[in-house]
Amino acid sequence: MRRETLSLFIILYFLVGCNRPSKEYYSALDKQEIYFSSFTEEDDDVFWTGNDGLQRAQISNGEYYFESLEGNGRYNAPLFSIEPTDDFEIEISVSGSEDDLIVYYGMVIGQLKKDSSFIEFKINNSGSFLIDSNYPIIEGRFENINFKTFKKLTVRKLGNDFRFFINEELKYSYPMDELINVRTGPLVYKNSSIWVDFVRINKIKKPL
């Protein structure tokens, strides 16, 4: 019995490992770009900049900097012109503070309100990721981490299926209820900060 269990585990391991989605899988879809910013301009009419005593944001040297100034997490998620029923993909390239390995940072989609539909996709500099909604969904690890570089987070919606990528590698797939609206942007924990290299939003074209 023990030998049969071990054999089954080995078979499953190779099936999963050998069928890991490739870079070609990531880029195979037909997409229409809805929004892109690499923050090369000092003024941006989409993402908020300023300092209201609770949060601070600025654009400098081709990066968007966003910081929580008090004891609550903060997010900056403008509304984009995508219908919640559309298939879409959101990419955001982010980096956190080099001084902290465990604090999480990342992106939000939807509106962070109780009993509302939203997704948080977060990583930290020690190589962990979290996916949350009104409840925890999954906690995992990702490899080849270099906390001094930007990491690309992607959330792809196909029907009711949401797929989560880190540096174009699929980490998790999860069915979710339809979002009320498509707001998205950077997310930080209390008294922490995030740097954003670019934000790209694509509408995924449905096959004829």
Q: Is the pLDDT of residue 147 over 90?
A: no
- The continuous run of DSSP H or E covering 26 comes out as helix 23-26
Segments in 33-142 forming alpha helices (H): none
CATH number listed for the domain at residues 23-204: 2.60.120.560
Q: Is 193 helix (H, G, I), strand (E, B) or coil?
A: strand
pLDDT of amino acid 110: 84
pLDDT of amino acid 82: 87
Residue 56 neighbours by CB under 8 Å, 6+ apart = 50, 65, 66, 67, 69
pLDDT tens string 148-187: 789 999 999 999 899 999 999 999 999 987 787 889 999 9
What distance in Å separates the CA atoms of residue 83 and residue 86, rounded to the nearest whole number? 5
pLDDT of amino acid 98: 82
What distance in Å separates the CA atoms of residue 124 and residue 103, rounded to the nearest whole number? 6
pLDDT of amino acid 195: 96
Indicate the domain borders of the chain.
Answer: 23-204
pLDDT of amino acid 92: 97
Q: Is the pLDDT of residue 37 over 90?
A: yes
Q: How confident is the model at residue 144 (pLDDT cuts 50, 70, 90)?
A: low
Percent of the chain with pLDDT over 90: 56
Better pLDDT: 118 or 10:
118
The pTM assigned to this predicted structure is: 0.84
Q: How confident is the model at residue 1 (pLDDT cuts 50, 70, 90)?
A: very low
Positive/negative CA dihedral, 75, 80, 85, 88: negative
pLDDT mean over 10-30: 49
Q: Is the pLDDT of residue 208 over 70?
A: no
Provide φ and ψ at 191, rounded to 5°: 50, 40
